[in-house]
Amino acid sequence: MFRQSFGIPAVWPLQIADITSFIVFLFRSGVSHSTVKCYISGLSFHSQINNLPDPTNSYLIKKILEGFKRSKGPTTDTRLPITYQLLTNIIGSLGNVCTTVFETKLFAAAFSLAFHGCFRVGELTFDPRNAQNHHLTLKNIRFLRDTLDIFLGSSKTDQFGKGTQIKLNKLKDDITCPVFLLSDYIKQRPPGSGILFCHFDSSPVTAYQFSAVLKKTLNFLGINPTRYSAHSFRIGSASYGYLNGLNASEIKDLGRWKSKAYKRYLRC
């Protein structure tokens, strides 16, 4: 899209001048430094996997990215966490927001899993714009007597599909119990082995729909949704774990973090 808009030939290997222009374009468009780095990493990966020269590693590109970061300054994530109590209120209110019993069960299970499993929204929903969807499918789910076993085949930090096993315990007398809510939803789910969370017509739940239902529910509860997003479940999950005594290693395991990035999610 960038090349097409600016009349740049779609040829490989990439030219340093074209990458420089791309970074400047993103800077002027207000894109964050972390997102730009992600885009450049994608270009680097494509170059290397096709055995092409990788100009993204050049001294000039590295210095431009460093300057980009300095010019943006430190950023503060102001998104609020969905706490355990708020999760309870959200799940208890879905019946007043969703139009059908099925949709109520669908989003109750999705929201519970997002919190208790510390999932990224892209692991639970479908993004038609993303060719590398990491969402769960029905075959990734296994119910045992008192636990729920989930196999996450790939993720943002597991691009090569090593996979991660996630175990969630049944929560007695708890309306947010992910084991009960997911089981209750799957009993009503249309047949088929595709994406785990889908509507009654088998169409997949998208990230936009996930966020829209969250926003409607917060509005119903009289809460301003402006500082909440689908990522607030993950923020709340990490913070809840910390407040309940999980150490750094356990929190990293909870959210499948490979670095100290988990610290940005703690609101304690």
* CATH number of domain containing 157: 1.10.443.10
Q: What average pLDDT score do residues 174-192 get? A: 94
Do residues 210 and 116 both lie within one domain?
yes
Q: Decide which of 39, 72, 105 is a domain's last residue.
A: 72
> What element of type H or E holds 168?
strand 164-169
Q: Is residue 21 part of a domain?
A: yes
- Domain of 34: which CATH number? 1.10.150.130
* Residue 138 sits in the same domain as residue 193: yes
Average of pLDDT values for 230-234?
92
How far is residue 112's CA from residue 184's CA, in Å, rounded to a whole number?
Answer: 12
The answer to whether residue 228 sits within a structural domain is yes
Q: Is residue 78 part of a domain?
A: no
Looking at the structure, do residues 139 and 162 belong to the same domain, yes or no? Answer: yes
Least reliable range by pLDDT among 23-27, 33-37, 70-74, 170-174: 70-74
Residue that is last in its domain, among 72, 104, 125 = 72
pTM over 0.75: no
Q: Is residue 213 part of a domain?
A: yes
How many domains are contained in the chain? 2
**Residue 79 falls within a domain, yes or no?**
no
Higher pLDDT, 129 or 45: 45
Note whether 189 and 256 are same-domain residues: yes
Do 117 and 226 lie in one domain? The reply is yes
Same domain, 96 and 29: no
- Please indicate whether residue 172 or residue 91 has the higher confidence score (pLDDT): 91
Do 99 and 52 share a structural domain? no
Q: Is residue 251 part of a domain?
A: yes
Q: How far apart are CA 216 and CA 97, in angstroms?
A: 7
Q: Indicate whether 226 belongs to any domain.
A: yes
Question: Is the pLDDT higher at 105 or at 9?
Answer: 105
Do residues 177 and 255 share a domain?
yes
Q: Tell me if 2 sits within 8 A of 22, measured CB to CB.
A: yes
| Domain end call among 72, 102, 124 | 72
What phi and psi values does residue 166 have, to the nearest 5 degrees?
-120, 130
Question: Across 11-15, 25-29, 202-206, 215-219, which has the greatest mean pLDDT?
Answer: 215-219
Residue 128's domain spans which residues?
Answer: 84-265
Q: Do 237 and 168 have their domain in common?
A: yes
Tell me whether strands 164-169 and 141-143 are parallel, antiparallel or unpaired: unpaired
Instruction: Tell me which long-range contacts 181-184 makes (C-beta under 8 A, separation of at least 24).
Output: 181/91, 181/105, 181/108, 181/109, 181/112, 181/113, 182/109, 182/112, 182/113, 182/141, 182/148, 183/143, 184/105, 184/108, 184/109
| Same domain, residue pair 61 and 131 | no
Whether residue 13 is contained in a domain is answered as: yes
Q: Are residues 127 and 253 in the same domain?
A: yes
The reply to whether 108 and 64 lie within a common domain is: no
The Cβ-side half-sphere exposure at 117, using a 13 Å CA radius, reads 29
